[in-house]
């Protein structure tokens, strides 16, 4: 069973630390997103990386549209992986929608995690009276259309075959292992589960010490959203990064690592 | 390579002006600031050169394209240094959308990463794609709108849920049947054997027996049989309860159970913290019994010379309500209750054993080992879950999940 889960979610374990750090990737890519960040922690932590079913190097035959149309289904992947590795008291690091997926997992099994480090989190993406999420429903529908159009009778740009990389042969292997590859149905369901979710009510159920890493000028998780999370997660700290955009772990890994280390130094004995 | 001129390899002294290229070109920094654009890009989008200089690249993206850039294109560019054949909509100065195909790569400009994107407008392709998508959507809509098909699907889904419940119930009954069988062949046989032995001795003539002693033994065994029978009766009656499902306040119910547990144990000095603010549907009478048993346990198995402390917290979480059919998922609201005490605790090896009928860990206390069996049975009746974990000397923690809503047919 455990071996099956590890294979299903393409689980990779590195590092030698006594404590564990679990990295969860966001919508749009896979665990490789973390590769500029995790090596900085491998001396102190055992590093656990995985792909959600349907993403990256996961076992696509395990994909279930009903399960992965709900963020709770993704949260079960985290629970499955952590339980397969018998993880307790780990530091959870989630990017984007994985922040909330980690929150859902932490509510169901609080003892799994000691701290939650959330990069660009949001509890709800769509605006409503009294809440700024950053998007109107029509924007998300348009995003789904843009994704659709990249799949219609045309070379699927996310497919591995076109990802030739002769200049950097060291990358070739991971690229042929389908880089960020997603089946259109998988991508559509993940996008819908992500952008139509509303997890504001779950925030009050988290008592873990939580770091909210808010980027400057993040379209997907604007400042108001970071402040909302900070206000509603009781034991949280909000850090605004100089990094812009939604992927500081890729665009500004040094700053991201420094902020994480700073927080951990203060909060983890 | 300079943006201003491209030297072709074939004709060594010829140069091509990038402004003459039949595609739009944009070079931007690692931070997403536009460094250079060619004339074709300006023409395509209706901008003057000054409009875009040192602006964010996202200025020429529609909002969905910005989203797509952040979630897909940027990570791809960062990890693989090149992207190809991506469909994106650009935003012209007047707000109109320009459908394009994007190709991009990373270049190193004296130590700094820079990115160059070319865009090729695809007005025609967009038209075909829209037709394809429209056709597919029409097809999907036809499927969705097909009333009979939709109804059949809904019925199928309902039947799947019902089947799942029934299989679960059947499994529970099988387990119960088996354990009651074991009880009849073991727990009941022991007092019956003792009675038989005593009667046998009492019946012998000329035996120097102590009549009172054997009568007392018979009495004791009868008492045991009676107690066991009562338990089995209580256990079975859960299935045949006359109670109906109703909605109630969980904290109220717990408070009521606490009072009852205090009366039954004769101990009223307990520290209680209840943080549950939820209403759920279920069998209130059975759930009161459940909390009485749990609280009695915390009181009975308290540490010596300590005041029992019990904390109960409730949260809503979504769990899959299918249990048997592993390929079906439907996430519904459950009340997740965590009940912690500061009691003696137990070795975690026994975390499942403690729910079995007439199984006991602590023989210093009187008891039949029935309380948690009843608790489990009531949880099963609600299609909930219960798990226990404990640290000896530190206390026990129970996690209970109960569905917030019951099904209309009474199969919670």
A126 — contact with chain B (CB < 8 Å)? no
Segments making up each domain of chain A, as ranges: 2-125+199-267
Task: Taking residues A110-124, report their average pLDDT.
Answer: 97
Residue recorded with tokens 């035959």: A61
Task: Examine residue B201 and state whether it is found in any structural domain, yes or no.
Answer: no
What residues in A contact B336, CB-CB < 8 Å? Answer: 107-108
B133 interaction partners in chain A (CB closer than 8 Å): 145, 148-149, 152
Which structure tokens are listed for B306?
């300590």
- Tell me if A245 and B72 make a contact (CB, 8 A cut-off): no
Optimal mutation site among B29, B31, B67, B128, interface A, most CBs of chain A within 10 A: B67
Nearest to B76 among A66, A96, A180 (CB): A180
Read off the CATH number of the domain in which B27 is found: 3.30.450.20
Tokens of B179: 């354990």
Rounded CA-CA distance B222/B245 in Å is 37
Q: Per the structure block, which two tokens stand in for B154?
A: 């809904």
Q: What is the mean pLDDT of residues B368-386?
A: 91
B76–A168 CB contact, under 8 Å: no
Q: Nearest chain A Cα to B89, which residue?
A: A146
Written as six digits, the tokens of A239 are 């850090």
pLDDT, tens digit, 9 for 90 and up, residues A68-85:
999 999 999 999 999 999
CA closest to A171 among chain B residues: B80
Q: How confident is the model at residue B6 (pLDDT cuts 50, 70, 90)?
A: low
Query: Does the structure show a pLDDT above 50 at B265?
Result: yes
Instruction: Answer yes or no: are the C-beta atoms of A20 and A112 closer than 8 Å.
Output: no
What is the DSSP secondary structure assignment for residue B73, as one 8-state letter? I
Residue B104 lies in a domain: yes
Q: Which of A165, A219, A244 sits opposite B81 (nearest CB)?
A: A165
Confidence grade of residue A154 (pLDDT, cut at 50, 70, 90) = very low
| Candidate from B58, B78, B125 with C-beta closest to A250 | B78
pLDDT band at A153 (very low <50, low <70, confident <90, very high): very low
Band (pLDDT 50/70/90 cuts) for residue B407 is: low
Which segments of chain A does DSSP mark as H helices, in order?
Answer: 2-8, 71-84, 97-108, 137-149, 169-176, 184-195, 223-232, 248-251, 253-267
Q: Is A96 a catalytic residue?
A: yes
pLDDT of residue B208: 66
Name, in order, each residue with C-beta under 8 angstroms of B182's C-beta and a sequence gap of 6 or more.
Answer: none
Architecture of domain A2-125+199-267: 3-Layer(aba) Sandwich (3.40)
Round to whole Å and give the CA distance between A32 and A25. 8
Q: Which residues of chain B have a CB within 8 Å of the CB of A32?
A: 79
Of residues A51, A218, A236, A249, which has the active-site annotation?
A218
Q: Determine the 3-state secondary structure of B376 from DSSP.
A: helix
Asked if A147 has any chain B CB less than 8 Å from its own CB, the reply is yes
Q: Is the model more confident about A130 or about A174?
A: A130
A-proximal residues of B, 43-82, CB under 8 Å: 58, 62-68, 70-72, 74-76, 78-82
> Which residues in chain B are closer than 8 Å to A245, comparing Cβ atoms?
32, 70, 74
Given CB atoms, is A92 within the 8 Å cutoff of chain B?
no
User: Average pLDDT of B61-86?
Assistant: 86
Q: Of B107, B128, B149, which closes a domain?
A: B128
What long-range pairs does B229-236 form, CB within 8 A, spacing at least 24? Answer: B231/B357, B231/B358, B231/B368, B231/B370, B232/B180, B232/B183, B234/B370, B234/B374, B235/B176, B235/B180, B235/B357, B235/B370, B235/B373, B235/B374, B235/B377
Chain B residue with the nearest C-alpha to that of A64: B327
Q: Which residues of B touch A155 (CB under 8 A)?
A: 85
pLDDT at A166: 45
Q: Averaged over B372-377, what is the pLDDT? A: 94
Residue tagged 């973390």 (tokens): A34
| Average pLDDT score over chain B | 87
Chain A residues near residue B127 by CB distance under 8 angstroms: none
Asked whether residue B235 is domain-assigned, the answer is: no
Closest partner CB to B80 (pick from A150, A179, A202): A179
Q: By the CB < 8 Å criterion, does A232 face chain B?
A: no
Q: Do A107 and B315 touch (CB under 8 A)?
A: yes
Q: Which residues of A touch B68 (CB under 8 A)?
A: 143, 146-147
Q: What percent of chain A has pLDDT over 70?
A: 88
B246 and B380: one domain? yes
Per-residue pLDDT band for B111 (boundaries 50, 70, 90) equals: confident
Are A139 and B64 a contacting pair at CB < 8 A?
A: yes
How far from B309 is each of A110, B59, B123, B389, CA to CA, in Å? 21, 60, 71, 17
Q: Report the C-alpha gap between B123 and B121 in whole angstroms.
A: 6
Q: How far is A63 from chain B (nearest CA, A)?
A: 10
CB B108 within 8 A of CB B114: yes
Tens-place pLDDT, residues B14-41: 566 888 888 999 999 988 899 999 999 9
Chain B positions touching A38 (Cβ under 8 A) are none
Given pLDDT bands bounded at 50, 70 and 90, which one contains residue A213?
very high
The ipTM (two decimal places) reads: 0.85
Mean pLDDT throughout B345-367? Answer: 82
State whether residue B134 is helix, strand or coil.
Answer: helix
Give the pLDDT of residue B362.
74
Whole-number Å distance between alpha carbons of B123 and B128? 9
Q: Nearest Cβ partner of B132 from A70, A152, A180?
A: A152
- Clarify whether residues B378 and B246 are in a common domain: yes
Q: Which of A136, A144, A82 is nearest to A113 (CA)?
A: A82
Give dist(CA B367, CA B313) in Å, integer: 28
Residue A197 burial by CB count (10 A; 0-12/13-18/19+): exposed, middle or buried? Answer: buried
Q: Which of A96, A98, A114, A178 is catalytic?
A: A96
Residue where a domain terminates, one of B128, B151, B177: B128
Q: Which of B128, B158, B193 is the last residue of a domain?
A: B128
* Domain that includes residue B56, residue range: 5-128
Contact B306, B338 (CB under 8 A): no
Instruction: Tell me how many domains chain B contains.
Output: 2
Q: Across the A/B interface, how many CB contacts are shorter than 8 Å? A: 137
Q: For residue A162, what pLDDT is reported? A: 34
Cα separation, B98 vs B100, whole angstroms: 6
Interface of A with B in 93-112 (CB under 8 A): 96, 104, 107-108
Structure tokens at A269: 């004995």
Indicate the range of A39-53, A206-220, A247-261, B199-213 predicted with least confidence: B199-213
> Are A64 and B87 in contact (CB < 8 Å)?
no
Pairing mode of beta strands B395-403, B331-341: antiparallel
Per residue in B148-189, pLDDT tens? 888 888 888 888 888 888 898 899 889 888 888 888 888 889
């Amino acid at each position: 069973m455990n071996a099956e889960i590890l294979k299903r979610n393409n689980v990779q374990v590195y590092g030698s630390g006594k404590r564990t750090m679990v990295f969860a990737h966001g919508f749009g890519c896979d665990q490789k997103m973390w590769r500029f960040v995790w090596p900085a922690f491998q001396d102190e932590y055992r590093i656990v990386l995985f792909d959600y079913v349907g993403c990256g190097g996961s076992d696509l035959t395990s994909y279930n549209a009903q399960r992965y149309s709900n963020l709770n289904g993704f949260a079960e992947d985290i629970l499955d992986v952590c339980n397969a590795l018998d993880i307790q008291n780990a530091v959870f690091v989630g990017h984007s929608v994985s922040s909330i997926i980690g929150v859902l997992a932490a509510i169901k099994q609080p003892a799994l995690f000691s701290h939650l480090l959330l990069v660009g989190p949001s509890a709800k993406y769509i605006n409503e009276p009294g809440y700024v999420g950053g998007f109107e429903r029509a924007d998300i529908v348009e995003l789904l259309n843009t994704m659709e159009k990249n799949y219609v009778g045309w070379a699927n740009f996310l497919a591995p075959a076109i990802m030739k990389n002769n200049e950097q042969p060291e990358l070739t292997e991971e690229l042929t292992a389908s880089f960020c590859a997603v089946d259109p149905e998988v991508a559509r369901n993940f996008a819908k589960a992500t952008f139509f979710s509303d997890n504001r009510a779950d925030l009050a159920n988290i008592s873990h010490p939580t770091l909210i890493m808010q980027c400057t000028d993040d379209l997907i998780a604007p400042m108001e959203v970071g402040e909302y999370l900070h206000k509603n997660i009781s034991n949280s700290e909000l850090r605004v990064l100089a990094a812009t955009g939604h992927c500081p772990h890729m665009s500004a890994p040094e700053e991201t690592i420094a902020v994480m280390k700073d927080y951990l130094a203060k909060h983890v004995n | 390579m300079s943006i201003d001129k491209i030297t072709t390899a074939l004709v060594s002294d010829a140069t091509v002006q990038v402004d003459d290229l039949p595609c739009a070109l944009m070079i931007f920094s690692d931070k997403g600031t536009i460094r250079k654009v060619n004339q074709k890009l300006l023409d395509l989008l209706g901008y003057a050169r000054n409009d875009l200089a040192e602006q964010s690249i996202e200025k020429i993206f529609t909002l969905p394209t910005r989203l797509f850039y952040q979630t897909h294109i940027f990570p791809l560019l960062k990890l693989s240094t090149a992207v190809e054949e991506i469909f994106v909509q650009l935003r012209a100065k007047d707000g109109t959308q320009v459908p394009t195909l994007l190709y991009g790569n990373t270049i190193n400009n004296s130590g700094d990463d820079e990115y160059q994107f070319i865009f090729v407008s695809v007005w025609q392709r967009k038209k075909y794609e829209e037709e394809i998508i429209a056709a597919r959507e029409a097809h999907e809509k036809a499927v969705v709108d097909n009333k009979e098909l939709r109804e059949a699907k809904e019925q199928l889904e309902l039947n799947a849920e019902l089947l799942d419940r029934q299989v679960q119930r059947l499994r529970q009954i099988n387990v119960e049947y088996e354990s009651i069988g074991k009880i009849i062949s073991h727990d009941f046989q022991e007092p019956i054997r003792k009675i038989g032995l005593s009667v046998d001795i009492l019946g012998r003539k000329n035996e120097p027996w102590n009549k009172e002693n054997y009568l007392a033994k018979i009495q004791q065994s009868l008492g045991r049989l009676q107690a066991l029978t009562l338990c089995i009766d209580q256990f079975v009656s859960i299935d045949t309860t006359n109670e109906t499902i109703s909605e109630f306040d969980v904290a109220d119910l717990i408070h009521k159970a606490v009072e009852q547990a205090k009366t039954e144990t004769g101990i009223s000095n307990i520290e209680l913290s209840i943080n549950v603010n939820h209403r759920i549907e279920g069998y209130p009478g059975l759930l009161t019994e459940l909390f009485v048993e749990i609280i009695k346990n915390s009181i009975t198995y308290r540490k010596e010379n300590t005041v029992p402390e019990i904390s109960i917290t409730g949260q809503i979480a979504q769990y899959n309500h299918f249990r048997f059919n592993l390929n079906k998922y439907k996430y519904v609201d459950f009340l997740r209750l965590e009940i912690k005490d500061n009691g003696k605790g137990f070795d975690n090896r026994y975390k499942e054993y403690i729910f079995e009928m007439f199984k006991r860990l602590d023989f210093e206390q009187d008891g039949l080992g029935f309380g948690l069996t009843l608790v489990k049975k009531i949880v099963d009746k609600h299609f909930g879950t219960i798990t226990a974990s404990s640290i000896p000397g530190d206390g026990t923690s129970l996690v209970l999940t109960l569905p917030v809503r019951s099904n209309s047919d009474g199969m919670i």
